Amino acid sequence: MEVKQSNNKSAKTLFLKDFWPLYKKRVLGLVLALQVVAGLAIILLFMSIDRQNPYLGWGLLSAIIIGQLVAAYVLTSAILRPLHDLSKALVHVSGELTAETPPSLNDDYYANNNLRPLLQQIYELASKNTDTPTAEKTAASSSLNVSSALNTTATGVVLINDQGKIVFANKSAPVSTGPNGEEKLDLVFDVDQPLAEWLVECRSHDIHAERTWKRIANKLPGDENRRLFDVFASYEKGSEAEVVITLFDRTNEYSPEEEDLDFIAFAAHELRGPITVIRGYLDGLNDELSQAMNSEQKELFNRLIVSANRLSGYINNILNASRYDRRHLQVHLTELSLADIYETIADDMKLRALAQRRLLSVNLPPSLPNVAADLNSISEVLGNLIDNAIKYSNDGGSIEVDATVNGDFVEVSVTDHGIGMPANVIGNLFHKFYRSHRSRETVAGTGIGLYISKAIIESHGGKMNVRSVEGHGSTFSFSLPIYATVADKIAKTGANNQQFVEHSSSGWIRNHGAIRG
């Protein structure tokens, strides 16, 4: 055992650097020995010339020359052998095809000249570095067509150059060709163009950057072949492909959540059941008991009705906001008069104003041009604005609903003379769940009404505005396109657009239409 250990030790003490001194010493020794032999031979030659024997002289000269040639060959071979073995070893690990066999470490020759550690090191480095191509790999990669290989994967790969142009996109990448032949990525982000914005930021600040977006669809809901991706983008300044975008197809994972597990729709269904009964019986009992109730009881009864109606309105707001967030919100534009739209919520609004002692005056003359609107959605917006005006005004305050023609639009305004808002609140007003600090304490609400109202108006191609003076009241207004100005467009875009004309020829009635609680 001890012997073996000492053997191992002696083997270990042999370093790579031990080769060179020994090799140099031996080469020098051999070369010097050759010189000495050659010198002695020449001296011998001169001595023989002295004896005037030309045959002996020529014979010796020939022997010296032949001897020198043989010695030079043997010497050179001996000196070059380590170099030859190293080169053979390197050729072997490089994977190049060769007829020569690689040097074997077990050869005693390597033990004598300290070359073994060097060869061992070469073989070790080669086996560690698996990236070193072997003969087969080299042959394969040289004939590999990267783009055709990438076309077989379900993962999208897109390369974008520093001009922002797509220079490569594989088959799975959601890319379409535009009218001018340029390729563009089909991705529907939550906000406008975050990829482009990120790129601008990268170009100004970064050398290398990475970014991930999850659950990004290539099409709007309901479109055929809609896919959902996790998008990974990497940026490298100065690279041939400045941006590499990898799109992992997660459709199977995400789409069940999107379509089947529509939690909010189910929750709304459950909530609406009891509301149906409450509203139904309140309405019926209000008639049946009207003779028996005194005026205070009647007022309290009205509050019950108003509260139940509001509850139902909140559920619609939440459903629509959820649809809008998932890009499911669709508006069906038809030709409608504003008076007709208001008519669907008039009873409810009058009751709300009455229950909270507000004076509601609605001035929507029949002379106004008809607008292109979704009846259900716009009545929801109008209801939200009137309800807010009631909430944020004072007892006995008046609320005016007016409309004017402004270019191709009809502008509807809802004005109250209530508490108003400071300027810093107005900027946040249309954010989801935003409620001003003060209103949180005094007024009930979800903070979702203005958010969805703005979304609905913008889906119609209109705009939402607000003017307010703190302590003096607010005016919320929205614009809707005059039907005549957009009739052609609506007819043309058809069902392909998010907005399409409603076909009412079948004669069915919807409570999104003429009938509404």
Partner 1 sequence: MAIHSILIIEDDRFIGEMYVRSLQKAGYSVDWMVDGNDGLIAARNKPYDCILLDLMLPEKRGGEILQILRGQQDLIPNTKVVVLTNFDQDEHSRLAMEHNADAYLIKAEITPKKLLSVIEKLSAS
Binding site for partner 1 (CB under 8 A): 221-222, 259, 262, 265-266, 268-269, 272-273, 275-277, 279-284, 287, 312, 315-316, 319, 328, 330, 506-512, 515-517
Closest to partner 1 by CB, 453 or 479: 453
Q: Which of 200, 199, 198, 174 is nearest to 188 (CA)?
A: 174
* Residue placing its CB nearer to partner 1 in the complex, 250 or 272: 272
Q: In degrees rounded to 5, what are phi and psi of residue 381?
A: -65, -50
Q: How far is the CB of 331 from partner 1 (least distance, A)?
A: 10
Q: Residue 476 Cβ, how far from partner 1 at the closest point, in Å?
A: 24
Nearer to partner 1, 352 or 435 (CB): 352
Smallest separation, CB 513 to partner 1 (Å): 9
Q: How far is the CB of 341 from partner 1 (least distance, A)?
A: 15
CB of 266 to partner 1, least distance (A): 8
Backbone angles phi, psi at 167, to 5 degrees: -100, -20
Residue 369 CB, nearest approach to partner 1 (Å) = 27
Whichever of 81 and 326 has its CB closer to partner 1, that residue is: 326
Minimum gap (Å) between residue 277 Cβ and partner 1: 4
- Judged by CB, which is closer to partner 1: 272, or 463? 272
Q: Which is nearer to partner 1, 102 or 221 (CB)?
A: 221
> Dihedral of the CA atoms 480, 486, 491, 496 (nearest 10)?
-60
CB atoms near residue 200 (< 10 Å): 12
Number of residues that make up the chain? 517
Beta-carbon count within 10 A of 321 CB: 22
Cβ closest to partner 1, residue 138 vs residue 307: 307
Tokens 């507000």 belong to 358
Q: Give whole-number Cα distances, 288 to 283, 291, 292, 293, 303, in Å.
A: 9, 7, 8, 10, 17
Sign of the alpha-carbon torsion through 393, 436, 318, 284: negative
C-alpha closest to that of 17 among 115, 102, 83? 115
Question: How far apart are CB 408 and partner 1 at their closest, in Å?
Answer: 27
The answer to whether residues 215 and 254 touch, using CB atoms and an 8 Å cutoff, is yes
Q: Closer CB to partner 1, residue 428 or residue 504? A: 504
Query: Could you tell me which residues come within 8 angstroms of residue 408 by beta carbon, excluding any fewer than 6 positions away?
Result: 481, 482, 485, 486
Minimum CB distance to partner 1, residue 221 (Å): 8
Q: Which residues contact 100 (CB under 8 A, 6 or more apart)?
A: 88, 91
Name the DSSP class of 17. Answer: G
Would you state the structure tokens that stand for residue 333, as one six-digit string? 């534009």
Q: How many Cβ atoms are within 10 Å of 253's Cβ, its own excluded?
A: 12
CB of 376 to partner 1, least distance (A): 9
Cα separation, 429 vs 424, in Å, equals 9
Q: Give min distance, CB of 381 to partner 1, in A.
A: 16
Run of H or E residues at 400? strand 398-406
Nearer to partner 1, 328 or 435 (CB): 328
- C-alpha span between 107 and 117 (Å, rounded): 12
How distant is the alpha carbon of residue 381 from its chain centre?
33
Token pair, residue 258, equals 């999107």
Instruction: For partner 1, give the closer residue by CB, 472 or 510.
Output: 510
Q: Which is nearer to partner 1, 327 or 467 (CB)?
A: 327
Residue 309's CB is within 10 A of a number of other CB atoms, namely 25
* Alpha carbon distances (Å) from 188 to 182, 195, 213, 374: 18, 11, 11, 24
